[in-house]
Amino acid sequence: MAYQLEETIKDTLNCLEENIFFIDLDFRVGWMNEAGKKVIDSIKAYLKLERAEDLIGTPIGWFHKNPSYQEEMLQRGDFPIDMQLVLFNTFVTRLIVKKLVVRGQELGYLLTWKDITEREKEKEKTKALINELSTPVLQTIADHTLLVPLIGELTIERMETLTSKLLNECLSSQADYVIIDFSGVTHLQDTEAGHEIQKLTDSIQLMGAEVLYCGFPKEMVKNMVSLGVETNQLSFVSFRNAIRYVVSKLGDRINNDNQN
């Protein structure tokens, strides 16, 4: 027979604002405090329960796509256990599990359920904002010429964000030249991120703009060579040299147009 929590323990746990669940030695939900009932009531439609109390007796594996995973973690006994789950592709929960030992006897486990859905959403928004701010696309003194100053670590995610943003900018500004400045790059993550640079370049050129590189740090050049990333793009030591090249090309085009 599974252990039933003593009333004094229940009273103590009900005084806490945290959502606490008692898991018995058969790995079933044996009890929940009042705060726990409220959180279950808030998602009972997803759980297909009429009331929170209907959760009592449910195996904890019911919450996980791999039912035996949580039981195996408890059996390993590496406490406290701190895990994060996404429920119904909607709720993000942090579960902290500790052993319940009363008068030297192990009676089960206490699980604290923290809803961190909003916090995770804010983290994603912040991450997206950082990506946006760290991949600026700027106008230059030269007509129809864009500057992309890359800063920090180059990751696949950042390069994908930049590609989408830059293609839109090329279209709206009718760009003829795009200068990608690598002088602020601190690290190239891996080979795939390096290949994303070439994919970005190819995409821009398909839209009719010429891509110029400038400002490669020495360490990044070594890193690209060691990763086997190759590029045949025209490259300059600095942005100043790159923009001079663009201005001279635009000047030649204007002169040719006047002569014609």
Q: Mean pLDDT: which of 45-49, 51-55, 126-130 is highest?
A: 51-55
CB atoms within 10 A of CB 123: 12
- The answer to whether residues 107 and 152 belong to one domain is no
Residue 123 counted as domain residue: no
- DSSP one-letter code for 77: T
Q: What are the φ and ψ backbone dihedral angles of 46, each rounded to 5 degrees?
A: -70, -35
Give the CATH number of the domain where residue 191 resides. 3.30.750.24
pLDDT at 260 (0 to 100) = 53
Q: Mean pLDDT: which of 31-35, 117-121, 150-154, 213-217 is highest?
A: 31-35
What average pLDDT score do residues 45-69 get?
85
pLDDT bucket at 259, cuts 50 / 70 / 90: low
- The answer to whether residues 146 and 254 belong to one domain is yes
Could you tell me the residue range of the domain that residue 162 belongs to? 134-259
What average pLDDT score do residues 2-29 get?
88
Residue 124 counted as domain residue: no
- The answer to whether residues 138 and 247 belong to one domain is yes
CB 82 within 8 A of CB 94: yes
Q: How many domains does the chain have?
A: 2
- The answer to whether residues 152 and 248 belong to one domain is yes
Residue 252 exposure: Cα atoms within 13 Å on the Cβ side: 6
pLDDT bucket at 111, cuts 50 / 70 / 90: very high
pTM of the full structure: 0.51
- The answer to whether residues 113 and 163 belong to one domain is no
Extract the runs of DSSP E, i.e. beta strands, from the chain.
Answer: 19-23, 29-32, 81-87, 91-102, 105-115, 138-139, 145-154, 177-188, 210-214, 235-236
pLDDT at 1 (0 to 100) = 47
